[in-house]
Amino acid sequence: MRVEVHFAYDKIADSIFNGSVVIMVDVLRASTSIITAIKNGAEKIIPAGDPGEAASFAAKLGFRDCLLAGERGGLKLPGFDLGNSPLEYTQEKVKGRTIILSTTNGTNAINKARAARFLLIGGLVNRTAAAKTAIEKGCDVLILCAGTDGQFSADDVLTAGALIDAISAVDPHLETNDLGLVSCMVYSNWLEGKADISLTHHYSRLIKLGFEKDVAFCFSVDSTDVVPRYSEGVIVR
């Protein structure tokens, strides 16, 4: 099989997603928040492009019947119920609820890839389960790294490498593109303690904002087997 890695959703043609199996990766933190929310019993998550669209969705559903969630610049949006910290998405808060989520990169990447045949949400926390689910679909896989503000984000590329590593455990002869090869290198270096992710842009910005616990949580590899899937406008288990 072939696994391609692409980054920065805003710079690629929509057509590459048509009919493919896509794993969307925004490890810090949208992917991890979505996985955690679904794991903790959220009924569904509606990805919104911007805060205005999120508010408009909420107005249609009724503000009492949903939770408004999202961030800009890493911080919770004013008036929203939840930010983009996976640790906020507790069972107590999200069980049985509909969440409308707008983040800077992740939810836009999901909407960009909406033409995919199967669109899965992957992170480090569910990398083996996400890889397994993708392989079961029986065709080539495209890993879409959301990136940070249109830039190459090493944390997402590391996660792509972790996903390819899990896929290659099933298919050791998989082919990949140049970014896939480099992703595997980054993941392998990280496992060996040779890739200092704390130097990367998004990671260090989150640490400066005080999200150390979030980052540690997002980097806990294979801590869950929940793989959320986007279909027809909503993300479900």
What is the binding site for its own copies (CB under 8 A)?
7-8, 11, 148, 151-154, 157, 177-179, 181-182, 185-186, 188-189, 194-196, 199-202
Minimum distance of its own copies from residue 12's CB (angstroms): 9
CB nearer to its own copies: give 11 or 208. 11
Minimum distance of its own copies from residue 93's CB (angstroms): 32
Cα-based distances in Å from 36 to 89, 145, 198, 224? 6, 19, 23, 9
Query: Which of 63, 76, 81, 142 minimizes the C-alpha distance to 103?
Result: 76
CB nearer to its own copies: give 51 or 106. 106
CB nearer to its own copies: give 76 or 201. 201
Cα-based distances in Å from 65 to 42, 58, 85, 87, 194? 12, 8, 21, 22, 47
| Rounded distance between C-alpha atoms, residue 203 and residue 163, angstroms | 19
Asked if 9 and 112 count as a contact pair (C-beta separation under 8 A), the reply is yes
Q: Which residues pair with 59 in a beta bridge?
A: none
CB nearer to its own copies: give 129 or 162. 162
Minimum distance of its own copies from residue 194's CB (angstroms): 8
Minimum distance of its own copies from residue 154's CB (angstroms): 4
